[in-house]
Amino acid sequence: MSDDLNQTCVIIGASHAGVNAAFALRKEGWSGPIVLIDGDSNLPYHRPPLSKAYLTSDDDISSHLLKPAVSYQQHNIELKLGVVVERLDATTKQLSLSGGEQLGYDKLILATGARAFVPPISGLNSAKHVFTLRNAEDVNRIRDAYNQLAAQNRCRVAVIGGGYIGLETAASLRKMAADVTVIERESRILARVTTAQMSEFFTELHQQHGVNIATDKQVEAIQPGPHGDIVRCSDRSEIAADLIIIGVGVRVNTVLAEQAGIQLNNGIEVNQYGQTSNPEIYAIGDCSYHHNPHYDRKIRLESVQNAVDQAKVAAAHLCGKAKVYDAIPWFWSDQYDVKLQMVGLSDDHDEAIKRQEPEPNKFSVWYFKQDQLVAVDAVNHAKAYVLGTKLIKTQQALNKANIVDASVELNLANLTS
């Protein structure tokens, strides 16, 4: 075992998953070289603020670092930033890096994440101000373009895609005084990720803040207009925009995994330790397709929680410890003055119970499957989120009447009586 801990571990991808894996390896006793590689040349940074606080500020991304530069030195973690891994040869365990360097590994962690999907829309490539939002550079470009356009009173923004990224971006741009339209293909925003009642709440929230929510609209083409661009939809409607943001989901980065010949399935398939079909290679974070024991099904998650928890599990396993991935997923989204906190997976629920508190914009939705609590969505209601987290874990029978009745205090005793 001590020999193994002296080996070289290379981690590809230095965002939440990769960085946490590097530090967790040191914590678990890995003594050999750790090399952390990313094509992004910035020191690794927090991603969630990109569509929120970072977009609305003029901060440098260095004010959102995951760890200070000195931490990598202190833990003897070698950073190769602005370096792309061009080829992975799993037989010889060699990586070909941009710039020509060859780098050997004993163990490899793929934390390659996902990239923004750009749908095939006619005229997209010739449109002037079209952006995706995935990394700091994307947001720097959006901020620069928006500020230039706004200086000419050209503040019309079309956000294509009403998912969390699209809506957070819409809220941020609204705060920056943009005139925002969210264009959604489905009949409701957030259709892929949450329930109809949550979609309804967020639709109204955005409308109250002056955002135009346009659903059932498939974008067909982008054409140059007299001022800015015209987004043409399949229902023949047209939306004029000075700046266009595309937020229609991601594609998993699997090129290296394919080169290694490891098993793919909605991402990179891994076992309960984060190990791929090649035992020397692990995959963690957004790119991993894994089994969740609590829900007993395989899932792929795009979240900080999953990135951090899988990083710790993979690092422990690499150091010979039998820690398994057994997390209840959790997420959050901040839009305007609304904090949405979600715990669990609601997508196969058979009953949803809403509890509305007396205060406006403060409620929770409790999702059950066969009377078992599977998820809670809490809006401005951290207590409901925390209780949900505990009760999903313990799987206790719940008093549904006390959940609905906002005059009954929300606490463990009342929910389980």
Partner 1 sequence: MAKITFITPDNESVTLEAEQGSVMELAVSNNIAGIDGDCGGVCSCATCHVHVAPEDVAKVGAASEIEQDMLELDDNANEYSRLCCQIEISEQLDGVTLTVAG
Smallest distance, partner 1 to C-beta of residue 260, A: 29
Smallest distance, partner 1 to C-beta of residue 108, A: 24
Q: Does the protein bind partner 1 through residue 339 (CB under 8 A)?
A: yes
Place of tokens 């530069």: 69
Cβ-based nearer residue to partner 1, 59 or 216: 59
Rounded to whole angstroms, the Cα distance separating 134 from 253 reads: 13
Cβ-based nearer residue to partner 1, 67 or 209: 67
Other CB atoms within 10 Å distance of the CB of residue 67 = 17
Q: Does the protein bind partner 1 through residue 71 (CB under 8 A)?
A: yes
Going by their DSSP bridges, the two strands 238-241 and 102-104 should be labelled as unpaired
Rounded to whole angstroms, the Cα distance separating 240 from 373 reads: 45
Cβ-based nearer residue to partner 1, 121 or 384: 384
With CB under 8 A as the contact rule, which of the stretches 67-75, 87-95, 272-280, 293-301 interacts with partner 1?
67-75
Stretch (H or E) spanning 80: strand 77-81
Smallest distance, partner 1 to C-beta of residue 396, A: 16
Smallest distance, partner 1 to C-beta of residue 333, A: 9
With CB under 8 A as the contact rule, which of the stretches 64-72, 117-125, 178-186, 396-404 interacts with partner 1?
64-72
Q: Does the protein bind partner 1 through residue 332 (CB under 8 A)?
A: yes
Instruction: Give, as ranges, the residues between 181 and 210 that touch partner 1 (CB under 8 A).
Output: none
Q: Could you tell me which of 78, 124, 129, 133 has the C-alpha nearest to residue 249?
A: 133
Distances (CA, A) of 107 to 39, 75, 287: 20, 18, 18
Q: Does the protein bind partner 1 through residue 344 (CB under 8 A)?
A: no
Q: What residues have CB less than 8 Å from 46, skipping those under 6 apart?
A: 16, 64, 65, 66
Q: Does the protein bind partner 1 through residue 26 (CB under 8 A)?
A: no
Cβ-based nearer residue to partner 1, 223 or 356: 356
Q: Evaluate whether 349 touches 374 at the Cβ level (below 8 Å).
A: yes
Instruction: Give, as ranges, the residues between 29 and 58 that touch partner 1 (CB under 8 A).
Output: 46, 48-49
Cβ-based nearer residue to partner 1, 73 or 187: 73
Q: Does the protein bind partner 1 through residue 323 (CB under 8 A)?
A: no
Rounded to whole angstroms, the Cα distance separating 283 from 257 reads: 9
Rounded to whole angstroms, the Cα distance separating 371 from 349 reads: 9
Q: What residues have CB less than 8 Å from 135, skipping those under 6 apart?
A: 40, 47, 50
Cβ-based nearer residue to partner 1, 253 or 364: 364
Cβ-based nearer residue to partner 1, 223 or 389: 389
With CB under 8 A as the contact rule, which of the stretches 63-71, 234-242, 293-301, 347-355 interacts with partner 1?
63-71
Other CB atoms within 10 Å distance of the CB of residue 136 = 21
Helix 196-208 to helix 164-175 angle, to the nearest 10 degrees?
Answer: 10
With CB under 8 A as the contact rule, which of the stretches 147-155, 212-220, 275-283, 386-394 interacts with partner 1?
386-394
Rounded to whole angstroms, the Cα distance separating 43 from 68 reads: 8
Single out the residue of 14, 15, 16, 167 in contact with partner 1 (rule: CB under 8 A): 16
Q: Does the protein bind partner 1 through residue 338 (CB under 8 A)?
A: no
- Binding region for partner 1 (CB under 8 A): 16, 46, 48-49, 64-65, 67-68, 70-71, 74, 304-305, 308, 332, 334, 339, 341, 380, 382-383, 385-386, 389-390
